[in-house]
Structure 1
Amino acid sequence: MKPKIVVIVGPTAVGKTRLGVDIAKQLNGEVISGDSMQIYKGLDIGTAKVTKEEMQRIPHHLIDEISVHEPYSVADFQREAQQRIQDICFRGKVPVIVGGTGLYIESLLYNVSHGGESPQNPAFREEQNRLADEKGNRSIWEKLYRLDPKAAEAIHENNRRRIIRALEVIHETGKPYSSLQDEKKTKEPFYDAQIIGLTTDRTLLYERINHRVDLMMEAGLLEEAKWLLKQVEPGAQSAKGIGYKELFPYFEGRVSLEEAVEQIKQNSRRYAKRQLTWFRNRFESVSWWDLVQRPESEAELMEEVKNFLQTK
């Protein structure tokens, strides 16, 4: 039998952290973070990392585990999360995966890498970006079409980032990028997962995001970003998170603080929109809930999760 796990997904600022703790408390669980930035030590405010008080003594995994100097890939997450799930289940507890990094969650559920295991090649990416700058995005899309028509047909010619990633995977592995996508379609899910999706009215969500950024600034996000920039170069993976990268131009005197903060809000709203699109389009059988406008429905949600865990 496949291990049973509970997965909580959704956009930023919608209440995933609190729900994860509530479920773990009531159903003898432990939380595993599915967030690509909360793994880093010292990045607390900008990542909205769960605090000791918010944990309510519930064990949390894959939080505060590596230095900001270290890279962290989807393959690293997949491996570590699988090990934690195995250990939690062995101890008779329920793994509760909480996070908004769609690629990480999908790769864990379907046990596929989506190219995460292939070596990264910054020089190759820079070369492809330069080519696209000089000759247009279609030039690199046509290159992908020659190498992997199936992948090219699935990627819009203006989606430069995905085109270059596909080319990079092909360059580094010698395998078609589309074969990774086929793997997900043909492979059975690795776990018996109850996937809970949190959402709410978009206008309300954007208001919550804006308010959260204001609270982050009050809590010391500016100082945290300054500290990060002293530790690593702006191109480091840990420095690419929303809430940090937007402040670097302010430190360089290129934008005002007000402009930088507004950019954080705008990028956070755009990210939330992408998160919702990802989870709606890529995941099947998601049980969607709006606990922001209907907090009383959490009791019904909890009953649904209990029934899932009791079903053999």
Structure 2
Amino acid sequence: MNGKTPPVIAVVGPTGSGKSDLGVELALRLDGEVINADAMQFYRGMDIGTAKISVAERRGVPHHLLDTMDVTEEASVSGFQEDCRAIIEDIHARGKRAILVGGSGLYVRAALDVLEFPGTDPALRKALEDEAAARGLSVLQERLRAVDPISADRLGDARRIIRALEVHQLTGRPFSSFMPVREYHQPAVQIGLEVDREELRERLAARVQRMVDAGLLDEVRALDAAGLRQGKTASRALGYAQFLRVLDGESDVATAAEETIVATRQFARRQLTWFRADPRITWLDWKDPQLVDKAVAGIVEAH
């Protein structure tokens, strides 16, 4: 490595585009280790519905931040940032390459970019939630407008408005001042997978059907017994919320599968919008036979 810190490699793009496979290929070529940046793959037992890469598919490549949490635990972007950066440092210290793989956009930004996370105060947040319930959200919206008009214009739901007020009261700074900037925390190179959108739509539908055939309902049933409904993060995962309704007798498997397909396609569109906004990403055709070679060439050139 010639004494230089190598750039962190990030493989990004929409769900179903082949990020996990490319991450493994790059790790094998570059003597690297993979760090998961898919928030739902932190959870033990959430395997089928998150399309989590299997042990066999990892092909001996170490994978970090997979299966690190119970479904009852709440994922934290700030906690991920701390853990991920420590793992990157350890990987590089051992002379390996750190390869971040995932489609959770804010988590990728937290790992790669200069991004501060203001603290929290549960008592203050509870007081604001109680005030919103008693006096109405509009009262809090107007208070936010007085101290942070940028956030007031941008935020519309109760949770974020309350969070913005909490941050202002704790720090004296507007919540909008903590928004991320496109400035790398350390050297990095991002590879994005360019997809054919219609083909991706078809691929996502087929993937959901494979999940159903592989036993998604049974997986959800087991996780329900383990406390899935109590998990603020895990319970919102694509497919799991839909199939919990099957367990409750409020839906059937075919309906839940179709709802999951629709929700997954919508999520993929949001991911594309998020990543497309980052001009630093080098986009490569997901179906290119030379994909791995081109990705390696781009990484070497960046280093």
Settle same-fold status: TM greater than 0.5.
yes
Residue in structure 2 matched with residue 75 of structure 1 by the alignment: 78
- Structure 1 unaligned spans of 5+: none
CA distance in structure 2 between the partners assigned to 1:17 and 1:125 by the alignment: 41
- Which piece of structure 1 moves more, 81-90 or 69-78? 69-78
RMSD, aligned α-carbons = 2.6
Is 1:94 the equivalent of 2:97?
yes
Q: Aligned with 2:255: secondary structure?
A: helix
- How does 1:159-170 map onto structure 2 within 5 Å? 162-170=160-168
CA shift, 1:300, in A, is 2.3
Residue in structure 2 matched with residue 104 of structure 1 by the alignment: 107
Closer, same or farther: CA 129–53 of 1 in aligned 2, 3 Å:
farther
CA distance in structure 2 between the partners assigned to 1:128 and 1:217 by the alignment: 43
1:74–1:113 contact (8 Å) kept in structure 2 = no
Q: Aligned with 2:282: secondary structure?
A: strand
2:132–2:139 contact (8 Å) kept in structure 1 = no
Residue in structure 1 matched with residue 275 of structure 2 by the alignment: 279
- Structure 2 unaligned spans of 5+: none
Residue in structure 1 matched with residue 177 of structure 2 by the alignment: 179
Residue in structure 2 matched with residue 24 of structure 1 by the alignment: 27
CA distance in structure 2 between the partners assigned to 1:138 and 1:270 by the alignment: 29
CA distance in structure 2 between the partners assigned to 1:107 and 1:252 by the alignment: 37
Is 1:54 the equivalent of 2:67?
no
CA distance in structure 2 between the partners assigned to 1:278 and 1:71 by the alignment: 23
Q: Aligned with 1:41: secondary structure?
A: coil
CA shift, 1:201, in A, is 1.7
Q: Aligned with 2:145: secondary structure?
A: helix
Q: Aligned with 1:268: secondary structure?
A: helix
Residue in structure 1 matched with residue 147 of structure 2 by the alignment: 147
2:71–2:228 contact (8 Å) kept in structure 1 = no
Structure 1 residue identity aligned to 2:120 = S
CA shift, 1:289, in A, is 1.4
**Residues 220-265 of structure 1, C-alpha deviation per residue, up to 9 Å, x if partnerless?**
1111111111111524122221111111112111122222111111
1:24–1:96 contact (8 Å) kept in structure 2 = yes
Q: Aligned with 1:31: secondary structure?
A: strand
Match of 2:240 among 237, 244, 248: 244
Aligned length: 298
Matched-pair identity in %: 36
Is 1:197 the equivalent of 2:192?
yes
2:6–2:97 contact (8 Å) kept in structure 1 = no
2:228–2:234 contact (8 Å) kept in structure 1 = no
1:38–1:63 contact (8 Å) kept in structure 2 = yes
CA distance in structure 1 between the partners assigned to 2:253 and 2:132 by the alignment: 30
Match of 1:118 among 92, 116, 120: 120
CA distance in structure 2 between the partners assigned to 1:129 and 1:275 by the alignment: 31
CA distance in structure 2 between the partners assigned to 1:27 and 1:2 by the alignment: 14
Closer, same or farther: CA 164–201 of 1 in aligned 2, 3 Å:
farther
CA distance in structure 1 between the partners assigned to 2:256 and 2:199 by the alignment: 22
CA shift, 1:114, in A, is 4.9
